[in-house]
Structure 1
C-alpha cells in the first residue's frame, strides 16, 4: 500500500532517541530547549514553545490571547477540526470564512466582506486562525493589515507548513501574526512521534504559554504572591494543562529538523512531477502563489466531475494507493451543525470538498511509485 503520507526515520533519528533513553532525563531535560532553539533558528521567531500536540499549542495560543466566554474566533472551514475546537475549549464562539477556490486557504476578499458586516453587527472576531492549507501560506500581509484595521489578533495554523516560505522568509517568523503553530504528527513535514509548537515574538505571550503548558505552575519568584519557602518551592498561579513535550520527542524533532531543506526540495520536485504528469486529465491542480513557496504537505487534486469522486477513490484504494480527503468542512460535522451551521453556509469550501482527493506525497515516494499513482489515476478517470 502506498500511503498518502508517512514519516521518514533514519538511523541518526533512532540514535538520537536512544541517546535520551540512556540519559538521566526522559521527559523534561535538555533536549526540549534544544529543539525550541532549533525551531527559532529555522523560523527566525524570537520564542518557540514545544508541546505534546499542535492541538495543545492552538489551545494555549488562544488562552494566551485571552480568548474566553463571549468572544468570537474565526477560521477556515477547510481544516482539521482542531483549528476550530481550540476556541470552543476556551468558551468562545466559532465562525468561518469561506476559502479561495485556487489556494484552499481562507479568502482575503471574503474575510474583508465578512469583517465589514461583522462590524455593523457588533460581532467582530477577537482572534482569526489562518490555516496554511497543504503547506501554502495564506496571504498574511493582507490578513495582518485587516487585523490592524479591525483590531483582531492572528494565529497562523501552520501545521502543514514548516519549511515553507512567504515573501522570501520562512514561515513561523510571526512577522504578520501574534502566534504561529506547527504540527509534528508522523504524516507532517517532520515528526516528533506526536507533537507541536507555538512560536511568537512577544515575550508576554511566550511567558503566558509557558505557564499554561505546565499546569499553571511556576518556580519563578516574580510570579509568586510570597517569597519562596526554599529551593524546592513552587506555586500554581494559573489553571494550566499538562501539554509538555518529552525529551524523547524533542530529540527526534531536532534530528529531523536537520533534514528539512532536502525534504522540502523533494516534496517540491514530486509536486512538480504531479503537475506535469496530470496536466492533461480532467482535474484542477494546485499551484503556488507568486509570493509564496509551499511546503507541499499535501497535493490535492479536484475532479471536474464531482460525481466520479467516490468511484475514483475506491479504484485507487483497490489499487493499493491509500489516497485520502482533506478535509470534510468543519461546519458540516454533526457537532457544528448542532451549533447552528448548515449545508450551504460556505459554498466554495463545500464545492472543494466534493471534488478533492489527496494524492501520496512524501520524501520516500519513488518516481516509479508516483508514476504508478498517476497511471492508476488516469485509468480510473476513463
Structure 2
C-alpha cells in the first residue's frame, strides 16, 4: 500500500531524540524554547508557543482571544473537526463560511457577505479561523482588511502550511493573522510525533498562551496577586490545561526543521509531476490562490462528471490497487454533533459539492517517482484511460 502521507525520519532525527534521553530534561526543559525560537525565526514571528498538538493550540488561541459563551467563531466547513471544535470548547457558537470553488479555501467574498448580514443582526464573530487547506493560504490580505472593519480576531489554522509563503513572506509572520497555528502530526510537513505551535507578534498573547498551556500557572511575580512566599512559589491565576510538549518532541521537531527546505522542494517536484501526468484526465487539478506558495501537505483532485465512474467506486478502485487515497474533508456541518446544533445538508453547497468529488492522492517527501507513476497508472486504469 502506498499511503497518502507519512513521516520522513532519518538518523539525525533519531540521534536528536536519543541525546535528549541521555540529558537531564525529558520535558519542560531548554529544548522546547530552542524549537519555539527556531520556528519563530524561520517564519519571521516574534513569539512561538509549542503545545502537545494543534487542537490544543487552537483551543488556547481561542481562549487567549477572549472567546467564550455568547461569542461566535466562524471557520471553513472544509477542514478537520478541530478548526470548529476549538470554539465549542470555549462555549462559543460556531458557524461556517462556504468555500471558494477553485481554491477550496474559505471564500473571502462569502465571508464579506456574511459579515454584512451578521452586523445587521448584531451577531458578528469574535474569532474567524481561516484554514490554509492543503498548505495554501486563503485570501488573507482580504480577510485581514475585513477583520479591521468588523473587529474580529484572526486565528489562522495553518496546520497544513509549515513552510508555505503568502505575498512573499512566510505563513506565520503575523502580517495577516493575530495567531497562526501549525501541526506536527506525522503526515504533516515536519513532525514531532504529535505536537502543535502558535506564532504571534503580540507579547500579551504569548504570555497568556504560555500560562494556558500549563495549568494557568505562573512563577512571574509581576503576574501574581501577592508577594512570593519563596523560590518554590507559584500561583494559578486562571484555569489552564496541561497542554505541554516534551523535550523529546521538541528535539525531533528542531531536527526536522533543518530539513524543511528539502521536504518542500520534493513535495513541489511531486506536484509538478502530478500536474503533468494527470493533465487531460477527467479530473479537476488543484488551482493556486493568487500570491500563495503552498507547502503541499495534500494534493487533491476532483472527479469531473464526465469521468463515467462514481466517486465511491473510484476511491474503492484505487484502494483495491494498493493506493492509500483519502478524502479531506467531510464537511464539518454535516457531522451528527453539528447537525444536532441545527446545521443541515444544503447549508454550504460548495463544500458539499467538493466532498462529493474530492480525493487526496499520496503526497509526502519520501514518495519516489516510481511510486508516483504507480499511483498515476492506477488512476488511469480506474478511469478506463490507456
TM-score range, shorter chain: over 0.9
Structure 1 residue 290: deviation in Å? 3.3
Structure 1 residue 287: deviation in Å? 2.1
- The within-5 A match list for 1:227-266 is 227-266=227-266
- The within-5 A match list for 1:331-350 is 331-350=333-352
Structure 1 residue 289: deviation in Å? 2.4
Instruction: Provide the rounded CA distance (Å) in 1 between the counterparts of 2:119 and 2:234.
Output: 44
- The within-5 A match list for 1:92-241 is 92-241=92-241
Counterpart for residue 288 of structure 2:
288
Counterpart for residue 362 of structure 1:
364
Counterpart for residue 30 of structure 2:
30
Q: Can you list the C-alpha shifts for 1:139-167, whole angstroms capped at 9, x where unaligned? A: 11000000001111100000000100000
Q: Can you list the C-alpha shifts for 1:23-67, whole angstroms capped at 9, x where unaligned? A: 011011111000001111111110000000000000000000000
Instruction: Provide the rounded CA distance (Å) in 1 between the counterparts of 2:21 and 2:197.
Output: 22
Counterpart for residue 327 of structure 1:
329
Instruction: Provide the rounded CA distance (Å) in 2 between the counterparts of 1:341 and 1:174.
Output: 33
Instruction: Provide the rounded CA distance (Å) in 2 between the counterparts of 1:349 and 1:371.
Output: 30
Instruction: Provide the rounded CA distance (Å) in 2 between the counterparts of 1:167 and 1:212.
Output: 32
Instruction: Provide the rounded CA distance (Å) in 2 between the counterparts of 1:321 and 1:15.
Output: 32
Counterpart for residue 319 of structure 2:
317
Find the residue that maps to 1:131 and give its secondary structure: coil
After the TM superposition, which of the residue ranges 218-227 and 339-348 deviates more from structure 2? 218-227
Instruction: Provide the rounded CA distance (Å) in 1 between the counterparts of 2:40 and 2:80.
Output: 25
**Conserved in 1, the CA contact under 8 Å of 2:138 and 2:289?**
no
Instruction: Provide the rounded CA distance (Å) in 1 between the counterparts of 2:312 and 2:355.
Output: 12
Find the residue that maps to 2:310 and give its secondary structure: helix
Instruction: Provide the rounded CA distance (Å) in 1 between the counterparts of 2:382 and 2:282.
Output: 11
Structure 1 residue 309: deviation in Å? 1.2
Counterpart for residue 89 of structure 2:
89
**Conserved in 1, the CA contact under 8 Å of 2:83 and 2:129?**
yes
Structure 1 residue 123: deviation in Å? 1.0
Counterpart for residue 380 of structure 1:
382
Gaps of 5+ in 2: none
Structure 1 residue 308: deviation in Å? 1.4
- The within-5 A match list for 1:265-284 is 265-284=265-284
**Number of paired residues?**
382
Find the residue that maps to 1:302 and give its secondary structure: strand
Q: Can you list the C-alpha shifts for 1:48-100, whole angstroms capped at 9, x where unaligned? A: 00000000000000000000000000000000000000000000000000000
Structure 1 residue 246: deviation in Å? 0.2
